[in-house]
Amino acid sequence: MPSKTLWIPTADGQAEAFAAYPEDGGRHPGVLMYADAFGIRPALREMALELAGHGYYVLVPHFFYRHGPVPVVELPEYIAGEARSALIGELMPLIRAHTAELTLRDADAYLGFLTGLPEVSAGPVAVTGYCVGGLLAVRTAVAHPAQVAAVAAFHAPVGADGLESLSTLTAHVHFGHAETDLTADALGELNQALDAAGVDYTSEIYPGTVHGFTMSDTDAFNPAAARRHWDRLVSLLDRTLTTT
């Protein structure tokens, strides 16, 4: 799959982004992919390329661009154990500083840029995200009901803004939760809120998983759950976006 680095103009500067897309030269539905807190790196580029192979133009923005270029913190090839904990400690101030206001300001820029690309077909787009990126994806979908047809979030704190924040979701939804992130009771409360809001959704705990199970460069990676995530994500996009 072809790929390239792009720069997205925002209200606060220029956000680096990784783009992957089919090699046929045609126009394809757009997908905005928010990385986890570790950001754009080989594992995320591989994921974007994988999704592009299913017929989508995938744009992965560096949402911590205000704090420096990619990578915003130095990353080992494999993120595990004490190194993982130390990196989370470095990144937590950036995560806390990335407020809902900043998320939505950036989302306006990201979506405008994505839908304006000549390789992206007209019509709605999808948004997906991982870890904190899943929360950004949900915020983006809530704020842009006319543009976002589908949203998926994996091992993400999707209820961090309060379950009532999900009541205005109009996009089709898939939430894939880590077993260590969400109890069965909490899942029930989340799903009840989605039911009450009339959201078309699937929301499930992936068995035997810990936070970060989709990320192949970390010790949280679970191959079976990662395959399940691809099945759920591609199925959602294929149902809600039109590919050529």
Q: What is the pLDDT of residues 173-201, one digit of tens each?
A: 999 999 999 999 999 999 999 999 999 99
- Contact between 64 and 95 (Cβ < 8 Å): no
Q: Is the four-CA dihedral 67, 126, 179, 81 of positive or negative sign?
A: negative
**Average per-residue pLDDT for the chain:** 96
Burial class (CB in 10 A: 0-12, 13-18, 19+), 181: buried
Q: State yes or no: pLDDT of 88 exceeds 50.
A: yes
By the 8 A CB rule, do 141 and 151 touch? yes
Q: For residue 137, give the CATH number of its domain.
A: 3.40.50.1820
Longest dimension (CA), the chain: 47
pLDDT at 77: 96
Structural domain count, the chain: 1
Return the pLDDT at 1: 83
Q: What is the pLDDT of residue 242?
A: 75
The stretch 218-234 carries a mean pLDDT of 98
User: CB–CB of 30/243 below 8 Å?
Assistant: no
Q: What pLDDT does residue 243 have?
A: 52
pLDDT recorded at residue 143: 97
pLDDT (average), residues 19-23: 97
Q: For 140-160, write each residue's pLDDT tens digit.
A: 999 999 999 999 999 999 999
- What is d(CA 154, CA 177) in angstroms, rounded to the nearest whole number? 6
For residue 123, give its domain range: 3-240
**172, HSE (Cβ side, Cα atoms, 13 Å):** 15
Residues 157 and 132 sit within 8 Å (Cβ to Cβ): yes
Per-residue model confidence (pLDDT) at position 244: 46
